Amino acid sequence: MATSTIPELITHKGCRMIKGIHHPHEVDQIQDLELRDSDVFVVTYPKSGTIWMQQILLALKSKGNEDSVQSVERVSTKDTLNNWDLVPWIEGPGKVLEFVKAESPRHNVTHLLYHLMPQELSRRRGKVIYVARNPKDILVSFYYFHKMLSELETPKSFDEFFDKFIIGDVFSAAVFGGSWFEHVKSWFSHKDDIDMLFLTYEEMIQDLQTVVRRTAEFLGADLTQDQLNSVVKQSTFKNMKQNPRANYEKMDGNLINHQEGRFMRKGTIGDWKNHFTVAQSERFDKVFKQEMKDFPVSFIWDIQEIS
């Protein structure tokens, strides 16, 4: 059962965060963290496929051997492990301290903006994998996620959530994660300053095998073809849907309302077409065109474009 307190967002240094989960004094420590060459940060705007890349990293780290991930689970002091316990949020409570003490290689995820991340990244210490997704599908995925997660305000309706996402100085200034435009543009603008692999959710859907191979190469992970195939297999939507670690199935009912749906929901491109009205789509396109006019990467909006 979800708790009845209304969750609140705070803005810290231009970043929209969840009050009570993200503590500004901890977030401020991240910029000064000393990095190791083997550190990896997966960076995403919410609902862009964070858990998917967490899964790929975990499977690459174990060289495709699911048993070795399960053995971590067996010795864990926690009752249940989620992917986020194994590849944690650097901005989560207490995570900075854990990061400092963790053994190499340290793999983390974040929704933070570039300027809040370790400055050592710009000295090419550590690596970043940025995963971007078309924002119409993000909006829909985010809407359902808001209905599930007690730490995010339950939307009154899809239309209300759409307005919240689109209204403001720029997109989504009113939701957790802030502006999608700002997120993707600001990270992309630093892609040559840091060691970054820029991927899209849509290319992961289109050709997971190639994305896994490129990710392994980027990380310098040496896997045989069979091991890479196993990583791909463990990272398909079908298999992740059955993996409780990826599905947050055992997550506390106070935090996530399992009656409202599953974390691994549709896993496709173009579900926005089942939710947006023609007017909403046109309104969205107008803002997108204006904000992204100089952005060199194009997005895929419909599964038909790749099939």
Catalytic residues: 111
Is residue 265 close enough to count as binding ligand A3P by CB under 6 A? yes
Binding residues for ligand A3P, total number by CB under 6 A: 20
End-to-end alpha carbon distance in the chain:
40
Cα(56)–Cα(10) distance, rounded to whole angstroms?
A: 31
Q: How far is the CB of 132 from ligand A3P (least distance, A)?
A: 11
Question: The tokens 């194009």 sit on which residue?
Answer: 298
Measured from the CB atom, the residue of 120 and 198 that comes closer to ligand A3P is: 198
Give the DSSP H or E segment for 182: helix 180-189
Q: How far is the CB of 60 from ligand A3P (least distance, A)?
A: 14
Site for ligand A3P in 84-143 (CB under 6 A): 137, 141
What does the per-residue mask of binding to ligand A3P show for 135-174, with x meaning CB under 6 A? --x---x--x------------------------------
Report DSSP state, residue 7: P
CB atoms within 10 A of CB 216: 18
> Which of the stretches 45-53, 214-222, 278-286, 288-296 binds ligand A3P when contact is defined by CB under 6 A?
45-53
CB atoms within 10 A of CB 59: 24
Is residue 48 close enough to count as binding ligand A3P by CB under 6 A? yes
Q: Which of 49, 126, 135, 178 binds ligand A3P (CB under 6 A)?
A: 49
Cα(23)–Cα(92) distance, rounded to whole angstroms?
A: 8
> Which of the stretches 49-57, 156-164, 175-183, 189-197 binds ligand A3P when contact is defined by CB under 6 A?
49-57
Site for ligand A3P in 267-286 (CB under 6 A): 267, 271
Q: Which of 23, 41, 44, 106 binds ligand A3P (CB under 6 A)?
A: 44
Angular region, 248: left φ>0, alpha ψ -120 to 50, beta rest: left
Q: Which of 22, 47, 164, 245 binds ligand A3P (CB under 6 A)?
A: 47
Q: How far is the CB of 79 from ligand A3P (least distance, A)?
A: 22
C-beta separation of 177 from 183 below 8 A: yes
Is residue 58 close enough to count as binding ligand A3P by CB under 6 A? no
Cα(69)–Cα(66) distance, rounded to whole angstroms?
A: 5
> Which of the stretches 18-26, 41-49, 224-232, 275-283 binds ligand A3P when contact is defined by CB under 6 A?
41-49
C-beta separation of 216 from 60 below 8 A: yes
Contacts of 16 (CB under 8 A, 6+ apart): 9, 10, 173, 175, 176, 177, 178
Cα(9)–Cα(12) distance, rounded to whole angstroms?
A: 10
Residues that bind ligand A3P (CB under 6 A): 44, 46-52, 137, 141, 144, 235-237, 240, 264-267, 271
